[in-house]
Structure 1
């Protein structure tokens, strides 16, 4: 079986960085969009997908215009919904509750928010929907971590050790199947 390239690009810097932005639809900065366009320039993507939130959607549209690729919007690539914490700075959230979440996000999801298991199921469905050809997905840090869990088998504790700054590009070689698997081909800040 032949693998295909899957490039996961975290959106560029939003207007208000450092917040727990799940469903919060913060605008990207022009510099953040430009950083994403720069990362996408030489990937050879044949399919372009983005989360429906504007910090990904606008970067995806700029990339699509630059590469002459149609943009597919897929809400399954959204960030984890932080519920009552959404849009807040981490220092404005109860430290003990936030610590429990980082330790075990499935058992201790944000109040009114999404569990790790729900995020993984959503991203898994999005991965399964991809055509097996070189693909670029403009998405969020949590969705990238969920994809690594699904495709490479990392658990959530291992995934928190990855620094995924705004505009980071993670390239994988994916082998479709049940379950799919992947090898990390590169991580580009």
Structure 2
């Protein structure tokens, strides 16, 4: 199978922007939806896949309808689950605990939350279902996990990629010999 593009888009600004929303279903702001719709117009894709959270799902439905392509909702593309930190303002959390998490999200996951390895496994499985040019509207953590799976990025390299609301990370991927395997990937663009 030949290479094809995957565009990873972070949802637009949600209500409660700046908090650790994780699996909380904070609705999208109208401006955030409009930004996603505008940024999708120049991209090459034949399907839209979104997280099941409304901040990703809502713009995906509009984009798919506008383009006349299939829209699949897939909960594997959710953000990292922040456990007891869900919905918290990072400034309100113990600084040392938060620093340990950012430094080693596997060794120090959020209390009651998901590890980096578990997030990567979810995203690897979601990527395995993509077999044609796709726009995936999801979350910054999911995008960084995709970079880890497809390009071999470690945690620090993933944090080094700035992914503001509405950012689009484009990759060209080469499928492997077995379904859900990747022979390689190359970053081809970043719109932030």
Q: TM-score range by the shorter chain?
A: over 0.9
Counterparts of 1:32-47 in structure 2, within 5 Å, are 32-47=32-47
Residue 68 (structure 1) shift? 1.3
Distance 2:114 2:159 in 1: 17
Aligned length: 188
User: Does the residue aligned with 2:36 lie in a helix, a strand or coil?
Assistant: helix
- 1:72 paired with 2:39, answer no
| 2:189 aligned residue (181, 186, 189) | 186
Residue 176 (structure 1) shift? 1.1
Distance 2:52 2:107 in 1: 27
Distance 1:150 1:18 in 2: 26
Q: What is the aligned partner in structure 2 of residue 155 from structure 1?
A: 154
Distance 1:37 1:181 in 2: 29
TM-score of the two chains, using structure 1 as the length reference: 0.97
Contact in 1 for aligned 2:46/2:70 (Cα 8 Å): no
- 1:92 paired with 2:95, answer no
TM-score of the two chains, using structure 2 as the length reference: 0.95
CA RMSD of aligned residues (A): 0.9
Contact in 1 for aligned 2:5/2:44 (Cα 8 Å): no
Unaligned runs of 5+ in 2: none
Residue 56 (structure 1) shift? 0.3
